[in-house]
Structure 1
Amino acid sequence: QGAERVLINEIKRSKPSINSVSQARILLVGPVGAGKSSFFNSISSVFHGYVTSQAISGNSGDGVTTQVLESFKKQTHESEDGKPLSFIVCDTMGLKAAPGEGVHVEDICNILKGHVPDRYQLLILSKVDEACIYVEKDIQDVYRSPYIKKKVSDQLGISVSCIFPVKNYNHETDLEENCDILLLSTLQQILHFVNNYFDNIYD
């Protein structure tokens, strides 16, 4: 568990690169069934040390997150000095085209209460274990799988370096180190992008 513990400690020590922001908000946006709530729960599980289900998730394809915004409770997790972590992960209802269903693209700016550049992206490729039988057997094969490589290269308009494959906890009752490392590495890269964004604003 050495690599996992190193990643957790680095994330706990991380801080936004500008002093005016005490906590960065990481907003999970995507279609219904993409695995947003499962990713939310998986990250929470790694920090708790056991599998949790803070956000209700499902696989019906209809979406089960009913609140517009559900925050990863900052008081649940603390940094090395006992203060709240420098980020909050926010789960959202799935995007749907039908009127009156899910959250709509135009609502996202209101949720953020701020501004992000047009087409600003981070992409999490979830459910990689369901996409490839080899990855299902061994999550360490995720970067060697030709199918996963093709899925990554098919995301036109998004740099490959901005696409992160993860396996969420869905049916498991125990944590698995290699799965945790993928999740933590993704979260760490997201926090790096957060600081890049802040640096660009500051400049």
Structure 2
Amino acid sequence: MTFNSRLDPETEKKLLKLFDLNVNFRLLYKGSHFNFDIRKLFQICSDQGSFILTVYFGKHIFGGFLKKSLPRSNEQVKDEDAFVFSLYDSDSTATRFSVNEGHHAFHRTYSSISFGDCLKVAASDREFHVNLCSTYDFNWPEWDWEKQLCEEVELHRVQAGDLLPGPWRGLPWIETNRDELRKDLVSYEPPIVGLTQVRVLLLGPVGAGKSSFISSIKSALYGNVVNLPSIGAKPDGIIKKLKSYPIRAEKGGQPIALTLCDVRDMGDSEETGLSLHDALAVINGHAPEGYKFQSGMPINPSSAGYCLDPGLQDKIHCVVFVLNARSLHSYGESLVKMIKKYRREISDLDVPQLVLLTHVDEMCHAVNTDVRYVYTSRIVQKKVQEAASLADVPVSFVLPVKNYMSELTVNRDTDILIFSAVRQILHAIDDTFEA
């Protein structure tokens, strides 16, 4: 069950002006939704980053901001950036006062939270009461503020620049869209007569998430999380063999028209990872299933199973470079040059190329909490731009995804993001065939 903030857009804008930086609010807790249970507030909101507490009395809104996280235990917090504020109806401006009393900027007990000596919100019998001091000229209404009953209490996480006012890519986060994307994938047919399967090759460095993406597609289709065994891999999980994964709509069912292929990881050089020669051999359909890649021993016509005259069904129809959003800045110059070199050589084969950007949920707190923020996240947008520059592709060719990693059950919105990435891959193949 969802719940909405009592803040209207105009009032929210006034509160946002209290901050020196560009920030957004994300509602974590609403008192009336949780029966004014302060234990639930502590459970949900602790260790969630900077936050703003808002307390409502008719047209009056006041509260406090803490740059640090709400602590999990009863303790006092030192925070020179903490402040309290007051706002009376949408026609006025918000007033802000610093709370800079050293360690007493914020204090939490088992039943209350306080911003210095300025504002205290305490809970009892599923009600919130507030005590205010008159030390500062807050323009408080002339009421008896001794344990005044609050109409509503909300806690918002303050996300410093994490979210944009609107999405930079549109994607409907609804069940019908998930169903349509799944149906389109399951019913997909290649646009070339006689071709029953399109083969997509995943290329990327160690830890990029190639195998996890394959598992995630299967999980989204099956409705339960699938963990693939490390077939063709060493004990450290590094793929050494060419392994094809036919995709099925359901466990035990017939393969659909999509096969994903995994190969040896890319390295900083031809000697430490998949060589360009071997990559092109796979793309051109010469490498047999299960072929073991070996440094210094490129595949050649005398290799066992080598296909001298591959047909269209043996070749790769799209190459997807898989990059880890967490590692973009740590990829060495040699690896980046390798990726761009591969890109240039593959372009000469008229094979479409895309970039899959994984682990984006670990880059942005908002996306980690709710994947629907992926195309509103300023951080993810920047990472997509960085990945596009690294691989030398247009930004529209970069597809951010969240793989199933630690989850035990599938999620509608994660499925939608995964299915939409697969749809773009299939569209790229269709566009190339029809060109």
TM range (shorter): 0.7 to 0.9
Q: Is the 8 A contact 2:366 2:373 kept in 1?
A: yes
Match of 1:163 among 380, 398, 410: 398
Deviations 1:37-65 (A, max 9, x none): 111110111112211112539xxxx9614
Cα distance 1:29–1:99, how it changes in 2: closer, same or farther (>3 A)? closer
Tell me, yes or no, if the aligned pair for 1:97 and 1:104 is still in contact at 8 Å: no
Q: Percent identity between the aligned chains? A: 33
- Residue 152 (structure 1) aligned with residue 384 (structure 2): yes
What is the distance in 2 between the residues matched to 1:77 and 1:147? 34
Q: Indicate which of 238, 245, 257 corresponds to 1:72.
A: 245
3-state DSSP class of the match of 2:203? Answer: coil
Secondary structure in structure 1 of the residue aligned to 2:347: coil
How far apart, in 2, do the equivalents of 1:124 and 1:5 lie?
Answer: 22
Cα deviations by residue, 1:149-175 (Å, 9 ceiling, x for unpaired) = 111122223112111110001111110
Structure 1 segment 84-163 matched on structure 2, within 5 A: 84-97=255-268, 101-112=272-283, 113=285, 114=315, 116-118=346-348, 120-154=352-386, 155-156=388-389, 157-163=392-398
Which structure has more strand as a fraction of its residues?
2
CA distance in 2, matches of 1:111, 1:65: 18
Aligned length: 192
Deviations 1:13-43 (A, max 9, x none): 1111111321100111111111111111101
Q: Give the structure-1-normalised TM-score.
A: 0.84
Give the distance between the partners of 1:31 and 1:9, measured in 2 at CA: 32
TM-score by length of 2: 0.41
**Which consecutive aligned stretches of 4+ in structure 1 deviate over 6 angstroms post-superposition?**
none
Q: Which has the larger radius of gyration?
A: 2
Q: What is the match of residue 18 of structure 1?
A: 192
Structure 2 residue aligned with 1:5: 179
| Equivalent residue, structure 1, for 2:210 | 36
Q: Which runs of 5+ in 2 are unaligned?
A: 1-174, 286-314, 317-345
Residue 409 of structure 2 corresponds to residue 174 of structure 1: yes
Structure 1 residues 19 and 107, CA, compared in 2 at 3 Å: closer, same or farther? same
CA distance in 2, matches of 1:130, 1:105: 31
Worse-matched range after superposition: 107-116 or 173-182: 107-116
Which is helix-richer, 1 or 2? 1
The match for 2:304 is: none
Asked if the contact 1:33/1:63 (under 8 Å) is kept, the reply is no
TM-superposed deviation, 1:104: 2.4
